[in-house]
Amino acid sequence: MKCPRCGKENKEGAKFCGYCGGALEKSPEPDIPPASVSLPRGGKKEKKKKWPWIAGGAGLAAVIIAAAAAAVILPGRSGDSGAGIYAPDQAYEWVLEPSIEADDIFYITRNNFAEYSANELMRQKESPYAVIEMGDSYGLIGQDGAMLGDMDYVLISDSNYGYVLVREAENDTGLYSEWLRDGASEITASDSGGRSVNRGIFYYCDGLHNVNEGLQEEDGDMYPVIIPDTAIPVKQSDSLYRTEDGEYLDWAADLPGKYAVCRNGSLMTDFIYDECGSSSEGLMAVKRDGKWGYVNENGDIVIPIEYDASWEQYQPNIYRMDEYTGEYEEFCYAASDGYIPLKKDGAWELRDTEGTLIIEPDIFEEIRPVYDGKCWVKQDGKWGVVQIKE
């Protein structure tokens, strides 16, 4: 099945392109209602482990209008009693009081394979917008609490050009993709199209290699080998990839063993990590013996490996998207804007990239990554935004 956007061949029956993330089921463009600034309401539901395209399309959730408050002194918690007021010289303050009821607010996985190798995609997309979830419906929300567009999408993911927002066509003939290009502030019904390169996947075989080395005979311009200027996670192979080995996505995904940290072609660690995220702010999330921590690009531990997964919505779609089952994987958010949200035994905290504690455990029920000095937090079952003070 050929993708109508990028022209790549995909397996029959696939709903989304394994190369650009676009919907493969074409349908007439529906009449899209004007964007509205609205927020979903609803109580806490049991956390799903599957993306919404495996479920039936749900109706639009009931909405409320968010009230953005001026910065105020944070009503914090002291000890086990939950009482106490933090002084205004503390490290954070409210910019949007907890007022938004939603099943979840989270960030999506980076998936821009035209600019990054797969090894650099194991982290969240950098964006001023988070995904807000209510039932089987999704939307985009800014840190001011304003919705961008509607709340009736069944899938939101990243692509070479920005967000891909998928909704069900009104005439029930299939799925319909809309786009929010990187740097834009408006969702449009047209895609960016065009031909784009694929940065491939790096692996280690007596040195650093990329699957694109075995694909360049097909089209050298489409498969460049550009070594990242940051450390990357790599797995090891006993042999170099060649086209006769089959689909390179399958080949790379099936590599056995664990991850090592590699920098400028040299191994900084042995192959000791069960999972390893991409570098951000000079740190990489690593998993060993069921726990997570963070190492720097030299492989030195900066955040002890004693935390739980902080990101339940990680999409491992950098491999074999055409076969993707829709299941989430637990992972850890990458550092952003100098900070890292951490979770341990159900308690959330925020540290900076040097390991200094910024927000103590149990102040908030959940904490999301920091962007532009602000982050989403959950308190008393509702979501709001705090500003981290310098």
Q: Are the C-beta atoms of 198 and 212 separated by less than 8 Å?
A: yes
**Rg of the chain, C-alpha, whole Å:** 21
Query: What are the helix and strand counts (H, E) for the chain?
Result: 1, 27
Q: What is the pLDDT of residue 253?
A: 86
State the Cα–Cα distance between residues 6 and 17, nearest whole angstrom: 9
Q: What is the pLDDT of residue 174?
A: 80
Strand 208-210, strand 232-234: pairing: unpaired
Residue 32, C-beta contacts closer than 8 angstroms, at least 6 positions apart: 150, 178, 189
Mean pLDDT by 10 residues, the chain (390 residues): 61 58 50 38 39 32 32 34 40 95 96 93 96 96 96 91 88 83 88 74 97 87 92 98 90 94 97 98 98 98 98 71 61 98 98 96 97 97 95
Burial class (CB in 10 A: 0-12, 13-18, 19+), 83: exposed
Structure pTM?
0.79
Q: What is the DSSP letter of 92?
A: E
Q: What is the DSSP letter of 341?
A: E
3-state helix, strand, coil in the chain (%, to 5): 5, 35, 55
Alpha helices in the chain (DSSP H): 248-253
Residue with tokens 């914090």, as numbered in its chain: 76
Q: What is the DSSP letter of 5?
A: T
In whole angstroms, how far apart are CA 236 and each of 8, 175, 212, 239, 271?
28, 39, 16, 9, 8
Q: What is the pLDDT of residue 99?
A: 96
Residue with tokens 């726990």, as numbered in its chain: 291
Angle at 123 between CA 117 and CA 129, to 5 degrees: 115
Long-range CB contacts (within 8 A, 24+) of 242-247: 242/214, 243/214, 243/215, 243/217, 243/218, 245/214
State the Cα–Cα distance between residues 101 and 384, nearest whole angstrom: 10
- Read off φ and ψ for residue 248, nearest 5 degrees: -65, -30
* CA contacts within 13 A on the Cβ side of 350: 25
List, as one string, the DSSP characters of 129-146: EEEEEETTEEEEEETTS-
